[in-house]
Amino acid sequence: MDDSQARKFQKDLNAGLVALVLLAVLDRSPEDLYGYEIAKRLQRVNQGEALFKEGTIYPVLRTLAAGGLLTSRVVPSYSGPPRRYYRITDEGRSLLAQWSGIWRQTRDFVDRFIEGTDS
Amino acid sequence: MSAHAARSIDDYLRQLRTALEGQDPALIQDALYDAEEYLRAEVAAHPEKSEADVLELIASTYGVPEEVAAAYRDTEAKVKAALKTPVPAAAAGASGWKRFFGVYLDPRAYTSVFYMLLALATGILYFTIVVTGLSLSFGFAILIIGIPFFLAFIGITRVIALGEGRLLEAVTGERMPRRPVHPGPPAGWLKRIGEMLTDVRTWTTLLYMLLMLPLGIVYFTLTVTGLAIGLAFTAAPFLVLARWLGWDADATVFSDDVHIGGFALSEHSMISALILGILGVLIVTLLMHAARGIGRGHAHLAKALLVVPGA
């Protein structure tokens, strides 16, 4: 119905989830990834309407790195500015495990009401 | 939605810059850097399409400039709140004495003192690099190596500017860029040189590096003089006390009588030594305040000269 309300709801949901997804992507990846690569991986999975704009993951990556959850290194590139490659740290892994637990719990809780399996 | 969709990378970056108007210049530089990394990678990934065609799809993938700007604003606000060094309780209290001596609890005062001592070394280094680089650039200008030399020289000054910014952020907490300014798409050497010569920041960076020598001398002298006098005065009452307790300074450590504040140690009464001691504590405390203030002022100067103004 109201498109702007739907967008606002999505944005509120994304506030914490983007960080969780980024940690998970980097945890799964055997090699270091840079911003553009991560964005493309998310886009591939997320066919159709994007859940969040790729431009919004860069500031989150930076925040995670500043918090010690990711490490990064800069590698020169021919196609543009030097790329910053990210890798998850041990601290990031343990946080990811914790957050994943919280996410599953939240999802099951919400589903129980939405699917009506509780009543 | 923006007035019109961006048709080129430069166009997009301009719109993003407009959307970030009024934000910290360092944040703007970072946001533009990230966007440029993405956009250039995206264009490079689609060699069969024109830049304009790729840019057409950007709004639905990377996001329109306003969206991206909002993401940086939100994240920055959250991070800033989380990382902000809590103001020492003494500084918040109203008492003048507490506020005066509260400076000893502020880590920035110590880091600023450290920066002022370091400034002489970095000042000499920067000054030498600029003078050598400029004169060799002029000298080489008639030779074939003149152009690459000049490019390398300006490149080095940019790296130094970034490093100096990181150092100052660590010392004073003033937000400085975390990424270098990207020079733009690969272009001919002559075009690059033209861009460098017309870029105001090239010249303000050189000016800053030249300024660092006189500033470094002043900072260093002020700090060393203040610390030496202040600490010597502070030590006076302890030395007199030690002498009373039978420590023979002349015979053990010093070849001559110890002189503090123009008097020989043997002529000091405990009263005069105590007055000197109090004076010494005041001098050191004032120095800490001065260092904190100078550090803050210097960070603003550096920001004005080293960071692209957000316009």
CA distance B27 to chain A (A): 10
Residue of A nearest to B60 (CA): A53
Under the banding of pLDDT at 50, 70 and 90, the label for residue B304 is confident
Q: Is B63 on the interface with A (CB under 8 A)?
A: yes
What is the distance of C-alpha B284 from the center of its chain? 24
Identify the top-confidence range among B21-25, B97-101, B187-191, B219-223. B219-223
Residue of B nearest to A19 (CA): B75
Q: How much is the average pLDDT of B78-95?
A: 54
User: Is 0.95 exceeded by the ipTM?
Assistant: no
Residue B90's pLDDT is: 46
Contact A55 B39 (CB under 8 A): no
**Among A68, A55, A78, A69, residue whose Cα is nearest residue A25:** A69
Q: Is A46 on the interface with B (CB under 8 A)?
A: no
Who among B67, B75, B185 is closest to A60 (CB)?
Answer: B75
E strand or H helix at A72: strand A70-75
Look at residue B254 and tell me whether its pLDDT is greater than 70.
Answer: no
DSSP 8-state class, residue A82: P
Residue B9's pLDDT is: 83
Who among B44, B61, B76 is closest to A54 (CB)?
Answer: B61
Identify the top-confidence range among B46-55, B73-82, B88-97. B46-55
Q: What is the mean pLDDT of chain B?
A: 80
Q: Is A30 on the interface with B (CB under 8 A)?
A: no
Residue of A nearest to B80 (CA): A63
**Among B302, B3, B24, residue whose Cα is nearest residue B163:** B302
Q: Is A85 on the interface with B (CB under 8 A)?
A: no
Residue B122's pLDDT is: 93
Annotate chain B with DSSP letters as a single string: --SS---SHHHHHHHHHHHTTTS-HHHHHHHHHHHHHHHHHHHHH-TTS-HHHHHHHHHHHT--HHHHHHHHHHHHHHHHHHHPPPPPHHHHS--HHHHHHGGGG-HHHHHHHHHHHHHHHHHHHHHHHHHHHHHHHHHHTTSTTHHHHHHHHHHHHHHHHHHHHHHHHHHH-----SSPPP--S---HHHHHHHHHH-HHHHHHHHHHHHHHHHHHHHHHHHHHHHHHHHHHHHHHHHHHHHHTT--HHHHT-SS--EETTEEGGG--HHHHHHHHHHHHHHHHHHHHHHHHHHHHHHHHHHHHHS----
Contact B182 A81 (CB under 8 A): yes
Count other Cβ atoms within 10 Å, centred on residue B23: 17
Contact A80 B36 (CB under 8 A): yes
By mean pLDDT, which of A56-65, B123-132, B174-183 is the weakest?
B174-183
Residue with tokens 């430069």: B10
Under the banding of pLDDT at 50, 70 and 90, the label for residue B311 is very low
pLDDT per residue as tens digits for the range B197-242? 888 888 899 999 999 999 999 999 999 999 998 988 888 888 778 7
- On the CB side of B278, CA atoms within 13 Å amount to 5
Under the banding of pLDDT at 50, 70 and 90, the label for residue A48 is low
pLDDT per residue as tens digits for the range B153-193? 988 898 898 889 888 888 887 777 766 666 556 667 677 77
A-chain CB neighbours of B42 within 8 Å are 36
What does each C-alpha distance from B187 to A15, A58, B147 come to in angstroms?
Answer: 40, 27, 14
Q: Is A55 on the interface with B (CB under 8 A)?
A: yes
CA-CA distance, B105 to B208, in Å (whole number)? Answer: 31
CA-CA distance, A33 to B249, in Å (whole number)? Answer: 66
